Structure 1
Amino acid sequence: MEFGKGAVRLAFSFTAAFGLIHAACAAPAPYPSRPIQLIVGFAPGGAADTMARAVAEEMSKSLGQPVVVDNRSGASGNIATQAALAAAPDGYSVIFAAIHLATNPSMIGVPYNPRTDLAMVGQMTSVPVFMLAAASSPYRSAADVIAASRRLDGGLKVGSGGIGTSSHLALELLKRAEHMPALHIPYRGGTPALQGLMSGEVDVMFDLGSGTLKSYIDAGKVRPLAVMQASAVSGVKAPPAPAAGLPKETYIRSWQGLAVKAGTPPAVIDKLHAALNAAMRQPAVQARAQAMGMEPTASATPADFQKLYLEELARWSAFIKAANIKPQ
């Protein structure tokens, strides 16, 4: 009888030990245990790609795993977003987030719910939008542009980086707020639009802060007339902010950050957020952003960036519908 009880106890001990070993083997490795993919919806060499690579390099140091940039351009960044959302919500597929995530749902339609399928990790920059004229232009302020456009039948010719871009939205905000006529001339990107401005194809244009734009401003080839936000921009030969004359309804500022698929564990999001903020504190990363006319802007928590995103989504969804902006 005693032998039988001992055998049972021994068998139980073996079973318990095996269970502990099995549980230890089945437990997931601490995050991250392999390289992380940062999916960027824009081509290599542009402002988004440059910023993503600067941040990825520093995040790799904090996380102890490579953060590898994967460029998947096309469909206004939507190809990259869908690729990330098709992956598991485990923090190994990270989305380069920007204002296109707030405008795409209304502009081109998306096969996901932007309010529930995306989880923001953290902001990295704010990107100012400038009103610009050629160096030879007679216009020296936003007031000059508004007055001249009102005097012309159909208004001035105003360039942008394309339908539905921040540069186009800036024009529409100004038109509606100031009851200003204008002829919108969309280009395939900010650089072609700048060339059109300097050649006289358009009278004025709006463009996001970038290394290309900053080089043109610094060289005196284009003249900034206004920055479409309440504060001036450091590091750029910029004009007074529109608080000097334009209503708040004209303000627009793009942004950049990181996002993941909803359902990603909060602990993973927090770890990515901490690594992102550590990267943005690096002087070299801040200098890279400022060299492109951007403003380093970290969010205190992932929830803060999520709040900003949902506010931007609501604002631009309503505005695009009200202004009847349609993709070409």
Structure 2
Amino acid sequence: MQSTPATTTTKFPDKPITVIVPFSVGSGLDLTARSLEKMAPKHLGQPLVIINKPGGAGTIGWNELAGTTPDGYTIGITAVDMLLLPLYGSAKYDYPTALQPLAQVTAVPLVLAVQSGQPWQTLNDLIEYAKKHPGQLKFGNGGVGGFTHVLGESVAQAAGISIEQVPFSGGGEATSALLGGHVELIFVNPMIIKEHVKNGTVRALAVTGEHRVSDPILAQIPTFKEQGLDISLNNWFGVAVPKEMPVEVKNKLSEGFKAIITDPEFTKNMSNVGLPVEYLGPQESQAKWLADSQKLTKTLQDTGVLEKIKAQRK
């Protein structure tokens, strides 16, 4: 005779699943969640209900995810930022151990962007200007200690310049600040900036990946490495759940998300918002978390950014 838990899990999921997105509407994580939402009824048999919980560079949403009942009805979107936050001692949980990945959905480089009205045509122009005007340039980031903040500090360190960091609640807000002339520089996901590059309001100076972006509108943007700065880090978005989840529930979710992410329609939807699908399963995602965590820890320590961020967060 089957025990009760097994009977309940065979029906899982039998109601909508909540998805916590720890950044604002229009962010890369949000666009990823909404692409997953479109395909969920087909592959999971239940809808996804997206809840945006921006703030604290992601800690508000990820704390809630880590502390939720691990019954499979609350899941969350992850990004590389969640590896950084515990390093500052500012997170309630050590996310890489409090959470477990179901899948990686996408991996994207970030773009260094300025208003097109600014005089800098290249990264080198910008660096030369910053050297002559130390501390005058404002760099909009997605929150103190977040991935874009670390990138901003890394660029300043590598280029030997001094810039002022201005935190916002996400990439969308930072982009608005750039367009409004409140900051001079931002790091942003390519798809957030693509239309602005196309219509000529924004100029992109560099991309953080090993390779250039394949999108035809953005393909002309050189990498940092091409321009002599040793910076190469991609952001990625995935799906994760609290650690203590029953294995049958986790497997059901993993299978469902694999079916969604590998569906050609999903790839097309993601491509439309400029996010290339790069699926990794639970084990591969876990390995990526570990490798990136080691790389970021080293970057933070080598550049002195860790101490700087700890001081700024106080």
Common topology (TM > 0.5):
yes
Residue in 2 that maps onto 1:178? 159
Residue in 2 that maps onto 1:237? 217
Moved over 6 A (4+): none
How much has 1:228 moved relative to structure 2?
A: 0.9
How much has 1:240 moved relative to structure 2?
A: 2.0
Matched residue SS, 1:56: helix
Distance 1:189 1:89 in 2: 27
How much has 1:25 moved relative to structure 2?
A: 5.5
Residue in 1 that maps onto 2:99? 118
Contact 1:214 1:291 in 2 (8 A): no
Contact 2:29 2:78 in 1 (8 A): no
Matched residue SS, 1:50: helix
Distance 1:26 1:133 in 2: 55
How much has 1:110 moved relative to structure 2?
A: 2.1
Residue 274 (1) aligns with residue 260 (2): no
Unpaired runs of 5+ residues, structure 1, are 1-19
Matched residue SS, 1:116: helix
Distance 1:152 1:204 in 2: 14
Matched residue SS, 2:36: helix
Contact 1:108 1:327 in 2 (8 A): no
Cα pair distance change 1:236/1:108, threshold 3 Å: farther
Contact 1:269 1:302 in 2 (8 A): no
Cα pair distance change 1:33/1:185, threshold 3 Å: closer
Amino acid at match of 1:240: P
Residue 309 (1) aligns with residue 289 (2): yes
How much has 1:24 moved relative to structure 2?
A: 5.5
- Greater mean deviation of Cα atoms: 318-327 or 89-98: 318-327
Residue 327 (1) aligns with residue 308 (2): no
How much has 1:298 moved relative to structure 2?
A: 0.6
Distance 1:151 1:274 in 2: 55
How much has 1:122 moved relative to structure 2?
A: 0.7
- Greater mean deviation of Cα atoms: 112-121 or 67-76: 67-76
Contact 2:57 2:145 in 1 (8 A): no
- Equivalent residue for 2:7, pick from 28, 32, 49: 28
Contact 1:233 1:293 in 2 (8 A): no
Distance 1:201 1:73 in 2: 21
Amino acid at match of 2:206: A
Residue in 1 that maps onto 2:60? 79
Distance 2:78 2:20 in 1: 9
Matched residue SS, 1:54: helix
Residue 134 (1) aligns with residue 115 (2): yes
Residue in 2 that maps onto 1:215? 195
- The RMSD of aligned alpha carbons is 2.7
- Equivalent residue for 1:51, pick from 32, 37, 55: 32
Contact 2:22 2:77 in 1 (8 A): yes
TM-score, normalised by the number of residues in structure 1: 0.80
Cα pair distance change 1:183/1:44, threshold 3 Å: closer
Amino acid at match of 2:313: P
Distance 2:92 2:143 in 1: 22
Distance 1:196 1:53 in 2: 24
Distance 1:24 1:261 in 2: 24
Structure of greater Rg: 1
Matched residue SS, 2:7: coil
Distance 1:205 1:26 in 2: 49
Residue in 2 that maps onto 1:60? 41
Distance 1:77 1:187 in 2: 11
String of CA shifts for 1:80-119, please: whole Å, max 9, x gaps.
3233333333333212111231122234622223342211
How much has 1:193 moved relative to structure 2?
A: 3.5
- Equivalent residue for 1:253, pick from 234, 259, 275: 234
Contact 1:129 1:227 in 2 (8 A): yes
- Greater mean deviation of Cα atoms: 66-75 or 91-100: 66-75
- Equivalent residue for 1:224, pick from 194, 204, 217: 204
How much has 1:272 moved relative to structure 2?
A: 2.2
Unpaired runs of 5+ residues, structure 2, are none
Contact 2:72 2:249 in 1 (8 A): yes
How much has 1:168 moved relative to structure 2?
A: 1.9
How much has 1:192 moved relative to structure 2?
A: 4.4
Residue 197 (1) aligns with residue 169 (2): no
- Greater mean deviation of Cα atoms: 179-188 or 133-142: 179-188
Instruction: Report how many residues are paired.
Output: 304
How much has 1:72 moved relative to structure 2?
A: 3.3
